[in-house]
Amino acid sequence: MPEEKLCVPTLLTCTAPVNIAVIKYWGKRNEDLILPINSSLSVTLHQNQLKTTTTVASCKHFKEDRIWLNGKEVDINHPRLQSCLREIRRLARKRHSDEENNSEKLNLSQKVHICSVNNFPTAAGLASSAAGYACLVYALAKLYGVQGELSKVARQGSGSACRSMYGGFVQWIMGNRSDGKDSIAEELHPETHWPQLRILILVVSSERKPVGSSAGMQTSVKTSPLLKYRAESVVPQRMKEMVDAIGQRNFEKFAELTMKDSNQFHATCGDTYPPIFYLNDVSKRIMNMVHRYNSHYGNIKAAYTFDAGPNAVIFTLDEDVGEFIELVKEHFPPETNGELFLKGLPVSKVTLSEELKSAIGMEPCSNGIDYIISTKVGPGPQIVEDTSRYLLGLDGLPK
């Protein structure tokens, strides 16, 4: 029938960033709504290096909602996916009923196809779910014409996804309400706020699959007395100090708080019963190297932070990033050559001084680090105009 042949899907593509928390989120007070036991604060990483791309399509001929992740169709009935879909559709319905004359309204009974890819390996241990859910929610909201505060929708996919809804420096305010409406992310400063800040991801070799963060934080909430204390009595003050440090671009204060908070998060994992360990011996060597590097200069020039895995994320200022990378190469001699070892933003070559090398005084550890991703602070989710980058074709299937 001619009418049916003319019907092509409405297609829309977005990208969203990864974020790295400097005040860590660990523990939910409500598992379904994903409400955290403390506020957290993150830096959004630049999408030139790390991003999720998601294409959404809607068409009256689609028989069911479907989703493809990194080239493979997966079950759309995952509860958290369903939470996001349901919530966006609810907001869309609400908006359409508010604006009765909306001419461009999308038929809400139409099914969607979703296709999403990361430009970084899942094995890199980066929080791909944060970028993934942020991208999904952003894209669906654009598709359905939903506006307003969307971080609370992304939060229901994956807690930290709410922070990937913004660029720059982002806080996730824990909120108090039991319905979660005040548990939202907000941008403290855009990505242009602190242009000197550089970020390195040190991808650590690891054969072991660590405990997933959802299960991990659930056990921690149940069993760790220290986590409860951290959430209630340590984090509120740290949030304030971190907001100040970032506001003033005070690198030393920012760096110290970042390291302390990463350490405290891992301490609460160790206080969990049975204990959870995300840091391995290479992670600890990196930490040790950072502390010795800072000691050598008598001020803090680099900071580490670790999420639920052994990979280090390092913050430095641009004047020091070249030296720090040489330090890594010196102490973790790469198997591959330098070009493959360092990915992302280019870094100027620096020669390490002998004093610095001997001040560190650590034996080199071969092959401990697989590669480094060099990046910086970046913007929030973006719409992709170029249709050649769309992941779904006009047939609504992955290209």
* Contacting residues toward its own copies, per CB under 8 A: 225-226, 229-230, 233-234, 256, 259-260, 263-264, 266-268, 270-275, 277, 280-281, 284, 287, 291
Provide the minimum distance between the beta carbon of 268 and its own copies in the complex, in angstroms, as a whole number: 7
Give the nearer residue to its own copies in terms of CB position, either 267 or 340.
Answer: 267
Provide the minimum distance between the beta carbon of 228 and its own copies in the complex, in angstroms, as a whole number: 9
The label of the residue with tokens 């779904």 reads 392
Provide the minimum distance between the beta carbon of 279 and its own copies in the complex, in angstroms, as a whole number: 8
Provide the minimum distance between the beta carbon of 327 and its own copies in the complex, in angstroms, as a whole number: 17
What's the one-letter identity of residue 142?
Answer: K
Contacts of 386 (CB under 8 A, 6+ apart): none
Contacts of 330 (CB under 8 A, 6+ apart): 352, 357, 360, 364
Contacts of 137 (CB under 8 A, 6+ apart): 84, 88, 150, 153, 154, 157, 161, 165
Neighbours of 372 (CB within 10 A): 23
Residue 221: both structure tokens together: 């909430």
Burial class (CB in 10 A: 0-12, 13-18, 19+), 348: exposed
Give the nearer residue to its own copies in terms of CB position, either 113 or 266.
Answer: 266
Give the nearer residue to its own copies in terms of CB position, either 271 or 318.
Answer: 271
What's the one-letter identity of residue 126?
Answer: L
Give the nearer residue to its own copies in terms of CB position, either 339 or 363.
Answer: 363
Dmax over Cα atoms in the chain, in whole Å? 79
Contacts of 218 (CB under 8 A, 6+ apart): 28, 31
Give the nearer residue to its own copies in terms of CB position, either 259 or 360.
Answer: 259
Give the nearer residue to its own copies in terms of CB position, either 120 or 306.
Answer: 306
Provide the minimum distance between the beta carbon of 299 and its own copies in the complex, in angstroms, as a whole number: 14
Measured between its terminal Cα atoms, the distance across the chain in Å is 26
